[in-house]
Amino acid sequence: MAPGNNMQSEEPLNGANGNSATHGSSSTSPTKTRSHEQDSNGHANGSPAGRTATKSNDDDQPKPKESLLQKTRRIWLAKTGIDARTYMQLFKGALAPTIAIAAYQATAFADTYTTIGYLVGIMTILSLPIQPRAKFTQTMLINILVTCIGCCVALLAMFCTVHARIDTEGHQGPGKGGPGTSGLAAGGAATSTYNSSASAVAGIWLFVEIYAISAFRANRPQFTIPSILFAIFANVSMIYAPQFSTMTQASAFAQKLLEAFFTGFAISTGVSLFVFPLTSRQVVFKEMTGYFGLLRKAMKANLDYMHTLEETDMFAPHRINTAGDEVAGSKEADAFKATMVALNGLHSKLAADLVFAKREIALGKVGPDDLQQLFKHLRETMIPVLGLSSLSDIFQRIAEGRGWDRDQNFAHATAEQAPNESEKLRIESITEWHHLMKQLREPFGKATTLIDEGLEHALITLQLAPRHTMRTTDDAAEANGDAPQPGEAGFADYYKRRSTSAVDTRKEMLRSWCAVHGIELAPDFFDDPYRKDYVAPDWMNTDHRSPERQRLRRQLFLCLHMGFLLKTVNQRVGDLINYAEKLQASGKLSKTRLIVPGIKRLRKWFMSFFSHDMEAHDDQKIDSGDNGVTVYLGQAYKTKKDPEHLPPTNPWEKSSNSIRKIGHFFASPASSFGLRSVVAYLHDTQTFFTRERLFWSQIMISISMTPTAGQSVRGFLFRVFGTTVAMILAWIAYYIVDGKTAGILVFFFLFLHFGLYIVLKYPGYIPVGMISQVTMTLILGYELQVRKVGVAVATSNGQAYHPIYILGPIRLATVAGGLFLAWIWTVFPFPITEHSQLRQTLGKTLYLLANYYSVMHETVRARVRGCEADFTSKDGPGYKLDKARYKVFSKCTALLGGLQAQSAFVKFDLPIGGKFPHARYQSIIAQMRSTLNFMALVSLASSTFAELSEADASDKEHSSEWLRNFRRLLGESGVTSEAITTLLSLLSASVTSGTPLPPYLRVPEPYRLSQKLDELDQDLLSVRHIAEPGYASFAVMQIGTRCIINDLAKILENVKELVGELDFSYHVVSTNDSTRQASEETLVYPRTGGASGVKMD
């Protein structure tokens, strides 16, 4: 914990856990010399034309030649992703086990730990010193607590085994070791001969311990590391427990074991806190920097895509691939979506890491509440950008809805070349969009440039990016601008002035649309649209339900959709700038102080350990890669009414109800996993088992058992591969220096970097990195241990001595044997497949989607009716709705990301029976993500009405009569429907349980808001009102609700294909048809045709 001079001093050079910033950086959008004053050619320098001219002038100047060192550094970063911060993490992770192994060369250390010193090195690896400080501290506290509990349970178990021996043999005194025993267990504690009673008791205790900890691990995957540590303590202690004849020997062994664990923890803690310390706040600041970078990159990608709309067929985009062939799809749209996928992933990770950063005690500048507010502003900026990325999908939906041939490209076709009337209408639409987007190129370019500069200014003000070199007077004159640059004083006011002109930009866009479609407006029409006249073309005099008028209105709505989202992004960036300026003005960014979380936050953190709603974000999971995401779904999902029992009322019913919970626990999936874990422990003779180190097979079973077969198969393959590589590296490290101790330690340290690199850069392959480090520590640690204490002491624990070229394959064989047993008992007696887990998670995500829609529905209804209370008051309904909506949105985003990663395991699952419908699941996941985005978009659009309500309340005299009528009619017509919540809940229940859907289940009809409003008041949506602030919000809501309905129809169709649909209708079938289906079968099958006879399906 080191003080810094600015906020940036807390920031690492890479992402969380030492990862490089793969999510983007502030340099994704280059700094531009900008001025919005007119240049000599009449172009605004902030416009694309101005920027292009500037760029061409820069290109004429010779660029400085890249030095060899710079070129090497650039290639190195591009290929490996290892920067300074990443290597610091690699160094830390490799240093801790190296210290543990090197310390064994000290006589005092060797005399203390004798033959169990290898556990010290293992503990330094499993405690993950590369974690940020807050995560590491929390993990270490849990590790210490669990290890102490494991020691207590081990002492109780050894007490039982000692007394079981005494009851059968009597008091024989301390064991002497020798033939028939396992030698000296530790530190001179001599063992006794085999005793069946003691062995039986130890076996029962081992069964119970592993069962309990495995069930706990399956139920609480966020506690995987502590569970593994407990399992290791239980395995090692129970191997030697039956061989002790007195509690003195047993207590001495447990103490040595506990000391070895705690010494490893101490080394890991020292390295984590004092060697290149990394705080959770640094991780959060770096992720925020990446967040800014991805927002800037996304806005640039959006502008690139909009430019393509000037000359492409947006209803069926085609592009030329690298092979020179024309293929479907827009490269710019795909790049935009890829950026948003990365931004979504970073958003989920930032939300998880922010929890730890707010709990951290540190020297810094901004406090926990400030971090939360910054995250809130970033999230509110991301949502409209997310809406912009859906533009290409909307065009595809239009083409799909009208039945246009998307294999054809009509980008440069004329109406005369159309094969039919439908395609002729398509070509006309394409031509109109080409003309419209060319007109909008400059205003959209200006808006994007301003947003990019605003994000850059916020970055610099928050001290997340370096400030530019101050311009001299000559530089300012040469740049042709008195306007301040990002990071300079006065930029916030400049941004506000430029943002005000966004209203004029929107009017320019509307004027362009009217001109394209023959609507003649007066130059000052939008200054007073109620009194100014306009010339309406013929199509405006037709019925409002005519196809042409409906088509053009949808086109107008789409233009308003783009303009509204750009304007909203502009406003959200302005809010972010204002907050950054507020922090700077308060003096928080100019001084470093001690930041301590409040009592309430610490109490909440402490209580979270004992509650079931603790959410996991892979903080302590090392066995399942990065796919697992555990979120709390709420009491409604967990607590189900019991149809066989009323709620208990009297003391007897309440006490007896607890007995029923025992049966529920043993029937739970977690209990099933615990049972699978313990049946794999099959002992041979004790001496052979100990001599050949077969207990490491048991330990690998504890580490490797996973709840599903897909994970187990992948884990088996990866762990065997990691063990093999580690064995080879251990041989190289030993023989390349001819067995010299110092050289071995150096190469041991270097080779550990490979495993850590996998852990940091490829989270999906964490098992390979972890197992390679553990195996290398076992092999080289044992060899150096024997060299220090001698063969006689090394074999005193019953383990035979083998040279390293034999020990390596033995380690590989024992580890592979344990991994194989773990895999066997995952799939036997029946596999818990990744297929079923994916289906269960899909059902949970549908449930959360229903939850989110329900909250969104209430939010929209409150805003449209103008009854939403002040959202700044924590007791108000508006604040509570906002908090619930954002929380569920984060959970949905996390679960969808986990679903995407989890589906990758399917290829490793057992191919028994028919193929898994992977494509259909992928389609449902994509549609759910799209539905979530459009729900967020509708919620965002409705916020305009809340803002306008506040404006009306403060200025009733000048409030819009149109807006009041519009909101009244909109509230009466209904924007959203509770039927969608019902439908999503039914889909969730059906997918989770695997039962067929009820018959005749339908998606609610599209709302047809514009048609309803036309019927209520035909003048409400006329040209005179298209510049009203609420009109664009209505357009976005109209598009969003239609897309939600469209996505739900596809989800319903796909779910029907997965689980079936009940069918109670009558069908006419032939009574002579021997292939007809029985009624109990056809309840969930499609109808069958026939000729004579009637059969009820």
- Per-residue pLDDT for 637 more than 50? no
pLDDT of residue 243: 80
pLDDT bracket for residue 526 (50, 70, 90): low
If you write DSSP's letter for every residue of 350-419 in order, what string do you get?
HHHHHHHHHH--EEESS-HHHHHHHHHHHHHHHHHHHHHTTHHHHHHHHHHHHT--TTS--TT--GGG-S
DSSP state of 318: E
Rg value, the chain, Cα = 34
| pLDDT above 70 for 798 | no
Same domain, 627 and 711: no
Answer yes or no: do 799 and 906 share one domain: no
Question: Within its chain, how far is the Cα of 255 from the centroid?
Answer: 41
* Residue 1091 three-state SS: coil
- d(CA 125, CA 103) in angstroms, rounded, equals 15
Q: Do 604 and 584 reside in the same domain of the chain?
A: no
Tokens 């005299």 belong to residue: 957
Res 25 pLDDT > 70: no
Shared domain for 572 and 627, answered yes or no, is no
Q: According to the model, what pLDDT value does residue 810 have?
A: 82
Read off the pTM.
0.80
Tell me, yes or no, whether 838 and 918 share the same domain.
yes
Q: Per-residue pLDDT for 1006 more than 60? A: yes
Q: Is 900:841 a contact under the CB 8 Å cutoff? A: no
How far apart CA 382 and CA 377 sit, in angstroms, is: 9
Strands 520-521 and 318-320: unpaired
Predicted confidence at residue 88, as pLDDT, reads: 92
Q: Are residues 906 and 952 in the same domain?
A: yes
Q: How far apart are alpha carbons 385 and 346 in whole angstroms? A: 15
**Sole residue written with tokens 């979380």:** 597
Percent of the chain clearing pLDDT 70 (strictly above): 66
Residue 803 has pLDDT above 70, yes or no: yes
The predicted structure's pLDDT at residue 552? 79
* Full residue range of the structural domain in which residue 1092 is found: 1063-1097
Look at residue 125 in the predicted model and tell me its pLDDT: 92
In 10 A of CB 1061, how many CB atoms?
A: 19
Q: 1069-1079, pLDDT tens digit by residue?
A: 555 555 544 44
Q: Which residues pair with 1094 in a beta bridge?
A: 1068
Give the pLDDT confidence score for residue 51 in this predicted structure. 42
Residue 1072 lies in a domain: yes
Q: Are residues 326 and 431 in the same domain?
A: yes
Residue 547: predicted pLDDT? 72
Query: Tokens 């555990």 appear where?
Result: 630
Please, which residues have CB within 8 angstroms of residue 725's CB and are 6 or more apart in sequence?
754, 768, 772
Question: Is pLDDT of 712 > 80?
Answer: no
Domain count, the chain: 6
Q: CA 753 to CA 86: how far, in whole Å? A: 11
The values of phi and psi at residue 38, to 5°, are -75, 140
- What's the confidence (pLDDT) of residue 9? 44
Least confident range of 150-164, 268-282, 698-712? 698-712
Rounded to an integer, what distance in angstroms lies between the CA atom of residue 954 and that of residue 288? Answer: 36
Which of 315-324, 403-412, 522-531, 657-666 reaches the highest mean pLDDT? 403-412
Decide if pLDDT at 183 tops 90. Answer: no
Map tokens 């901004």 to a residue: 366
Residues 757, 881 share a domain? no
pLDDT band at 129 (very low <50, low <70, confident <90, very high): very high
Beta bridge partners of 1095: 1067
- Rounded to whole angstroms, the Cα distance separating 989 from 711 reads 25
In a domain, 1030, yes or no: yes
- Environment class of 768 (CB within 10 Å of its CB; exposed 0-12, middle 13-18, buried 19+): buried
354: its two tokens: 């922010």
How does pLDDT run across 564-595, given as a tens digit for each residue? 898 899 999 999 999 999 999 988 888 888 98
Distance CA 1082, CA 1067 (A): 11
H or E, element range at 49: helix 48-60
Among 299-303, 425-429, 717-721, the minimum mean pLDDT is found in 717-721
Residue 98 lies in a domain: no
Are 814 and 946 in the same domain? no
Average pLDDT score, the chain:
75
**Residues 6 or more apart from 361 whose CB is under 8 A from it?**
1, 594, 595, 596, 597
Residues in CB range of 247: below 8 A, 6 or more apart: 158, 159, 162
Assess whether the previous peptide bond of 1006 is cis (omega < 30° from 0). no
pLDDT at position 216 over 60: yes
**Which of the listed ranges 26-35, 190-199, 306-315 does the model predict with the highest average pLDDT?**
306-315
Number of other residues whose CB lies within 10 A of the CB of residue 861: 16
| Residues 266 and 312 placed together within one structural domain of the fold | no
For 767-791, what is the mean pLDDT?
84
**pLDDT band at residue 302 under the 50/70/90 scheme:** very high
Q: What is the pLDDT of residue 1076?
A: 47
d(CA 972, CA 995): 37
Which of 803, 830, 857 is at the close of a domain?
830
* Reported confidence tier of residue 927, pLDDT bands at 50, 70, 90: very high
Mean pLDDT of the region 202-230: 81
525 located within any domain: yes
Claim to verify: residue 365 and residue 491 sit in the same structural domain? yes
Lowest mean pLDDT among 54-58, 176-180, 507-511: 54-58
**Which residues have CB under 8 Å from 704's CB, separation 6+?**
623, 712, 715, 716, 719, 818, 819, 822, 823
CA–CA gap between residue 352 and residue 356 (Å, rounded): 8
Q: What is the mean pLDDT of residues 741-758?
A: 93
For the cut 70, the answer to whether the pLDDT of residue 195 exceeds it is yes
Residues 874-918 pLDDT 10s = 667 777 788 888 888 888 888 888 887 777 667 666 566 677 788
Host H or E run for residue 1049: helix 1029-1059
DSSP 3-state of 1094 = strand
How far lies 625's CA from each of 216, 335, 825, 842, in Å?
A: 19, 26, 21, 19
Last residue of a domain, one of 215, 245, 278: 278
Task: Identify the residue whose tokens are 């292009």.
Answer: 52
2 within some domain: no
Which range scores top for mean pLDDT: 152-156, 230-234, 341-345?
Answer: 152-156
Residue 660 forms part of a structural domain: no
Measured distance CA(45)–CA(77) in Å, rounded:
34
* Residue 716 belongs to some domain of the structure: yes
Band of residue 455 on the pLDDT scale cut at 50, 70, 90: very high
- The mean pLDDT value for 128-136 works out to 91
Q: At a CB cut-off of 8 Å and minimum separation 6, what does 907 contact?
A: none
Which span out of 27-31, 246-250, 294-298, 361-365 was modeled with the highest average pLDDT?
294-298
Lowest mean pLDDT among 321-325, 413-417, 426-430: 321-325
Q: With b meaning 16 or more CB within 10 Å and e meaning fewer, what string describes 612-647?
A: eeebbbbbbbbbbbbbbbbbebeeeeeeeeeeeeee
In a domain, 67, yes or no: no
Q: What pLDDT is recorded for position 520?
A: 73
| 854 and 986 co-located in one domain | yes
Boundary-marking domain end, from 593, 619, 654: 593
The predicted model gives 923-943 an average pLDDT of 90
267 token code pair: 């080394």
Choose between 963 and 342: higher pLDDT.
342
